[in-house]
Structure 1
Amino acid sequence: MRAYSNPSSNRRRKISLILTSAAVGALVLAGCATTPLTAIGATETVTGPTLASTQAAARGPFVSAANPLAVEAGMKVLARGGSAVDAAVAIQAVLGLVEPQSSGLGGGAFMMVYDAESEAITVYDGRETAPAAATPELFYENGRPLPFVDAVLSGRSTGAPGVVPMLALAQKQHGALAWSELFGDAEALAQDGFVVSPRLAGMINGSAPQAKTRWATEYFTKPDGARYQAGETLRNPAYAETVRRIAREGAAAMQQGPLAEAIVAAVNEGPRPGALTTADIAGYRPVVREAVCGPYKIYTICVPPPPSSGASILELLAMAEQTPDIDKGPNSPEAWAAFGQLQRLMYADRDRYFGDPAFVSVPVAGLLDPTYVAERAALAPALRGAAPYGVPAGAPRVGADATREPAGTSHLVVVDAQGNAVSMTTTVESLFGSGRMAGGFFLNNQLTDFSLVPTASDGTPAANAVAAGKRPRSSMSPALVLDREGRLVGLLGSPGGSSILAYNAKALIGALGWGLPLQEAFDLPNLVAKGDGFGADTEGFPLAVREGMAARGVELRPNTTETSGLHGGLWRNGRWDGGADSRREGVARTH
């Protein structure tokens, strides 16, 4: 193993390349501030077109997010000279109002920031933390794990919120406008009202128990006793006051004083009150981390490190490079069957080893080692049923995982006029989080992203077991795509719970491997292969493809996990090839 450091003195962050075998070509980049860089050992021939334009570096304005009102807020900030991070703050503030089933001020996020001048990538970890009083048996009652729904609805499920402190830190370091200028659209929409979208109306009137709590019922019920429907105007003056306070006071408005006290009061209500305190909220700190990057075709894909599961996508892409069937394209049953089998291997490794790196050693380098990748990929053709987890170099002794990740997440991307960019996945965890509210926003149930059973039968703790101050493992994996010179040529991500890994990988393979326009890559049918089943958008696959997959042992059944919500863009031929998943309500805009 050899380590290289960047000799260039004008880079903001040192790069180190961990090269385990240039001949096979796996690459891990810590820091990702790049000198002109080739993804060493990556395939020289790519099925799809090269994204990079030799005439011009990627520039904005460009925004893709899950609601047109949020996209408009971001575009307004960019038009005033705001940075990509400035726009992301405005977008999140609006999303938390108009798409509260997915993300909000009471949740958490991972943000990837690309600096065009230095070509540096900074990862901001805004994942929530467990309170100081949390124990491994947080979700136990009478010696047994709570039913999952009861755990979600309990006060125990809420961690110290991270998204606002994370955004405040990132904006301090990368903002061009004053923080106080970024919340005007959110405040106006909350005070004057916004039109309820069909997707939100479906959630308000759906079966999710979080939509039926006393907090949600009070918010979503009109004076005549009926619930809000699509096309009607919903007002949230409490949210307007919250964003006014945050605009004035920054993250301190969330972490101390009336808002923090209101969060704790809601968490401390029954049934099953939680132990989150104002001290836990005040003590929360976002973490600045170094990206993990690896090659795919002639590109470099960068994702957040643990507790994000982004490195698992890099493992899958590395295995795909060892699997010729993948390159047969979107109409090939061989390609789809291979993709599903590789997912099984990826998820087996992810579920076993990933957790908060402050509490458990995650063997990222071992998982991306070329020899290990080749050994895992070789297992795919003969797989029948669930895949075994592997034992990469550096793997700790950890127990089996019992984590569930339900629906309730969003993704946004922004590029500003200077070429600075943000790829950010943000969540309150389940639909409407825990169903509890404070200050006009829903509180997260992020702590149910821990393994509900903390130890194996022999007492070995799971990597993702609960602990005081610990961040739960996350599938959120916002991605950046770099060309051979280290320049930004793409960014994307998706919601979807644990299926995020499958959705992001599908999009990357579809766009970079199969050469599809990004929207077509997003709209490909989804296939999620975890454990012993293959969940899919079954009707999206042509009959011949389904039959061909079945002949190879890949029997499709309807996907029961949260559907995708891919948003992103690729810089092709000097313009943004933008995409917004047709399964959601988002849009991609360049003007």
Structure 2
Amino acid sequence: MAIAPVPTLTRRVADEDTNPEGGSGFTQKPLVRAKNFMVASANPLASEAGYEILRRGGNAMDAAIATQLVLNLTEPQSSGIGGGAFLVYYNKGRDALTTYDGRETAPASATPERFMRNGRPLPFSESVNSGLSVGVPGLLRTLELAHKKQGKLPWADLFQPAIKIAEEGFPVSPRLHIMIAKSKALAEQDAAASYYFDQQGKPWPVGHVLKNPELAKVFRMVAERGADAFYTGDVARDIVAAVRGHERPGDMTLADLANYRPKEREPLCGMYHAYRICGMPPPSSGVLGVLQMLGVLESFPMADFAPASAKAVHYFSEAGRLAFADRDFYVADPDFMKVPAKALIDPVYLKARASLIEPNESMGVAPPGDPVSRLAELGQDDALEIPSTSHIVVVDAQGDVLSMTTTIESVFGSKILVRGFLLNNQITDFSRNPVDGEGRLVANRVEGNKRPRSTMAPIIVFKGDKPYLAVGSPGGSAIMNYVAKTLVGVLDWKLDIQQAISLPNFGSRNKQTELERGTSLEQLVQPLRAMGHDVNVLEFPSGLQGIVIDENGLSGGADPRREGKVLGG
């Protein structure tokens, strides 16, 4: 069968003030090949730090830590030590797959009414940029635990690239400049404004050498003393003071920080054709949702549809509606709420869900399913998940594979800057209203020490017993669509990883059918509307990173919508 031409991004953005993530423009990126090792991240300096660690004999865990620490400097709007992460690691020597849950937690004193005033939810704008929105950061404790279990080089060595860049400075990139310029809330926070803006209140221009000596000092302390230097002592006191001293104060305590612990969780795995797809279980809904989407799509001949054709977008969007409907009802922190993850990806259940899809007519809004007779107990939540996150993938010379999604939630997090790093606003990933319109408790309501639901979806795909593909993306609740699109691109349409990542983005979050603006997908508006789709053409910026491992070695791709870079040797 002849394969249709692969749709790609068709423009370069000259003025990006319509792009909510300030991407660096749509420029095609080449597939990168290597024989021994590879790292891909959203920023060239970060990828170079990871590459240097790999070149020195470090493993995938070591490289990811070095990469992440540099991202804290060069892409601070997306991730950093004031946030959290989900990490999936395959250790070839042990033939073991492990996931590390570094999701932030609500302060112990948090209650379900945290974002309620006079019986109504606070406006999101009042919730997000406040001390109330800050969760207990999980990233450093998680990296420390994962390094103790998986790392090879000394912990302190991994901080040296970031310390050097923090002290000597780095040029402000086009994307970082745009993001600073567009963040009015960032300029309103004194500490953040003094770092990201000049004395006239203007964002630092592209190419300005930005130094961060305060963060360099924090990195040095953590390098020497471990994560305790962050979670206890002066740094912890400064975090608590900043959260509690905000004009809309939070209630984080020193005990909340000292008591934070990451969790190792059993990977969530499911089959798609001959591939085993594994990743982060709840409190992430991302991998669960991707597995549901693929499980539904297995009932349809996706490989026969041209990439990003009307038929492909129709079935993909309908599968997304079904997955998002279940996500909104069932997924929360499994330590607080029993999440029926295995039942939700059971092939029999997914085949029944697939039977709801009509070949030529959209269902509009999908209802949640009921695999374990719990639907009547739960309420639909109103949680918003804003897209500003980052993803790292690494394969080392020993065959270890890492996929890690890392975040501070919305752009520049809470906007609260402490010692050169930004604090997250992850508590807004909980439902603001603890009950729905029928008075039923929402699974993802705020509770003390609870982890908010996420859609981050770090994934490792296995072909037989060997890892074949590592992938993940930022993008808030759209992450499920971005990652599933890429997997369908590689596994069904036989695209290389760069082609699959560069496919225009599309899908549904159980509302409108969303098509990426400025791409060939705009030609599908009328055909999809004829099938009953409520179509929205919008900026749809992902930030995918992916590596494929096959008989030819390693091949890597980075999202052309960001400044990402793949390096290998």
- Per the alignment, residue 566 of structure 1 pairs with 544
Matched, 1:322 2:299: yes
CA contact (8 A) 2:38 2:394 kept: yes
Show the 5 A alignment for 1:257-296: 257-296=233-272
Following superposition, the deviation at residue 378 of structure 1 comes to 1.3
CA contact (8 A) 1:538 1:556 kept: no
Highest relative contact order (Cα 8 Å, sep 6+), 1 or 2?
Answer: 2
Relative to structure 1, the CA distance from residue 327 to residue 358 in structure 2 (aligned partners, 3 Å threshold; closer, same or farther) is farther
Mapped partners of 2:303, 2:329: distance in 1 = 25
Instruction: Give 5+ residue unaligned stretches, structure 1.
Output: 1-46, 48-57
AA partner of residue 353 (structure 1): Y
Show the 5 A alignment for 1:519-538: 519-538=498-517
Residues 452-510 of structure 1, C-alpha deviation per residue, up to 9 Å, x if partnerless?
A: 111123432111000001000010110001111x1111100000000000000000001
Instruction: Give 5+ residue unaligned stretches, structure 2.
Output: 5-33
CA contact (8 A) 2:516 2:539 kept: no
Matched, 1:494 2:470: no
Following superposition, the deviation at residue 225 of structure 1 comes to 4.4
| SS at 2:269 equivalent | strand
CA contact (8 A) 2:47 2:567 kept: yes
Matched, 1:508 2:484: no
AA partner of residue 385 (structure 1): G
Matched, 1:157 2:171: no
Following superposition, the deviation at residue 559 of structure 1 comes to 2.9
| SS at 2:433 equivalent | coil
| SS at 1:317 equivalent | helix
Matched, 1:473 2:434: no
AA partner of residue 170 (structure 2): F
- Per the alignment, residue 565 of structure 2 pairs with 587
Mapped partners of 1:583, 1:528: distance in 2 = 17
**How does the TM-score come out when normalised to structure 1?**
0.88
**Greater CA deviation, 87-96 or 538-547?**
538-547
Mapped partners of 1:60, 1:285: distance in 2 = 34
Mapped partners of 2:486, 2:532: distance in 1 = 23
What percentage of aligned pairs have identical amino acids?
Answer: 46
**How does the TM-score come out when normalised to structure 2?**
0.91
CA contact (8 A) 1:366 1:395 kept: no
CA contact (8 A) 1:239 1:439 kept: yes
Show the 5 A alignment for 1:549-564: 549-559=528-538, 563-564=541-542
| SS at 1:238 equivalent | helix
Show the 5 A alignment for 1:299-310: 299-309=275-285, 310=287
Following superposition, the deviation at residue 211 of structure 1 comes to 4.7
AA partner of residue 103 (structure 1): S
Relative to structure 1, the CA distance from residue 394 to residue 119 in structure 2 (aligned partners, 3 Å threshold; closer, same or farther) is farther
Mapped partners of 2:293, 2:550: distance in 1 = 25
- Per the alignment, residue 435 of structure 1 pairs with 415
Show the 5 A alignment for 1:141-290: 141-223=117-199, 225-290=201-266
Which of 103, 106, 113 pairs up with 1:130? 106
Mapped partners of 2:290, 2:326: distance in 1 = 11
Following superposition, the deviation at residue 131 of structure 1 comes to 0.6
Residues 501-521 of structure 1, C-alpha deviation per residue, up to 9 Å, x if partnerless?
A: 000000000111110111111
AA partner of residue 516 (structure 1): L
Following superposition, the deviation at residue 253 of structure 1 comes to 1.0
| SS at 2:357 equivalent | helix
Residues 179-236 of structure 1, C-alpha deviation per residue, up to 9 Å, x if partnerless?
A: 0111111111111110111111001101452354222211112245432011111111
Relative to structure 1, the CA distance from residue 84 to residue 277 in structure 2 (aligned partners, 3 Å threshold; closer, same or farther) is same
Paired positions, count: 534
Relative to structure 1, the CA distance from residue 283 to residue 60 in structure 2 (aligned partners, 3 Å threshold; closer, same or farther) is farther
Following superposition, the deviation at residue 361 of structure 1 comes to 1.0
AA partner of residue 460 (structure 1): R
| SS at 1:576 equivalent | strand
Relative to structure 1, the CA distance from residue 435 to residue 515 in structure 2 (aligned partners, 3 Å threshold; closer, same or farther) is same
CA contact (8 A) 1:108 1:126 kept: yes
**Greater CA deviation, 268-277 or 429-438?**
268-277
Relative to structure 1, the CA distance from residue 549 to residue 316 in structure 2 (aligned partners, 3 Å threshold; closer, same or farther) is same
Show the 5 A alignment for 1:104-115: 104-115=80-91
**Greater CA deviation, 393-402 or 181-190?**
393-402
Following superposition, the deviation at residue 560 of structure 1 comes to 5.5
Mapped partners of 1:188, 1:73: distance in 2 = 11
Which of 348, 351, 354 pairs up with 2:325? 348
- Per the alignment, residue 336 of structure 1 pairs with 313
- Per the alignment, residue 359 of structure 1 pairs with 336
